[in-house]
Amino acid sequence: MNTLLSDKAYTLIKKKINSCEGEYLSVRRLSREINIGYSPVREACNRLSQEGLIKQLPGIGYYVPKVKEKYFTEIFEYRRVVGCYVFEQVFPFLTQEHVNILSEYNDNMIKYLQEKDIQNFHKYDKKFHLFFFNLYDNSIFTNQMNNIMDRSYYCSYKTVDSVDKKKNISAIEEHKEILKYIASHDKEMAIQKYIEHIDNNEARIKEGYYNNKLEKSLTI
């Protein structure tokens, strides 16, 4: 088995599906397009299908499901319930050193936003949120959150980044506020700001999604 080729196919197809919502994927055509053999491409599709990013139609192939509003609601409910729980559990153990690391992630977010490098912007946003999960060390929560964050970026690639940068700046400001309350050991305010941040993220993604839908329907 060639794991490397399959991993390469996985990364390429994952990028590709950002722009083909609602379309069918033929393994044979994908294989030609990305110039990787049939078997590793099929393995990559199986993996994407297991992760819920594409759907398998037995005997036919795969398709990229349309992202529905309900999906955003589900993602952010997960982030609210499990994210807040984990944040609350680790809060008493957070030190100034942790705050410094998180501030660095935030600085990187600013830098990449200025460079219009949205993938690295998301990378550091993910590092910020997963930091608390890694400290808490429940592998089920961490793996699931990791997956959920990827899905949520997958949605936002089509929306927030293509709409306006103000929203991303707001997210960075909200991170700073959370850090302020961690530094001053104000648990109640830190958690309140954490929840507000998740709620705002949800609103931002949903708004961008509808703007984008509108844009699409105008250009057709």
Judged by the rule CB under 8 A, the positions of this chain that interact with its own copies are 1, 3-4, 27, 39, 42-43, 46-47, 50-52, 56, 58-59, 71, 73-75, 77-78, 81-82, 85, 138-141, 143-144, 148
CA atoms of 146 and 149, how far apart (whole Å): 5
Quote the least distance from Cβ 55 to its own copies, whole Å. Answer: 13
Quote the least distance from Cβ 106 to its own copies, whole Å. Answer: 27
Q: Which is nearer to its own copies, 88 or 207 (CB)?
A: 88
Q: Which is nearer to its own copies, 4 or 220 (CB)?
A: 4
Q: Which is nearer to its own copies, 41 or 190 (CB)?
A: 41
Q: Which is nearer to its own copies, 50 or 119 (CB)?
A: 50
Q: Which is nearer to its own copies, 1 or 218 (CB)?
A: 1
CA atoms of 152 and 158, how far apart (whole Å): 11
User: Encoding tokens for residue 54?
Assistant: 């594409």
Q: Which residues contact 121 (CB under 8 A, 6 or more apart)?
A: 109, 112, 113, 161, 168
Q: Is the dihedral of CA 174, 179, 100, 102 positive or negative?
A: negative
Quote the least distance from Cβ 144 to its own copies, whole Å. Answer: 6
Q: Which residues contact 185 (CB under 8 A, 6 or more apart)?
A: none
Quote the least distance from Cβ 136 to its own copies, whole Å. Answer: 10
Quote the least distance from Cβ 126 to its own copies, whole Å. Answer: 17
DSSP-based three-state secondary structure for 159: coil
CA atoms of 41 and 47, how far apart (whole Å): 10
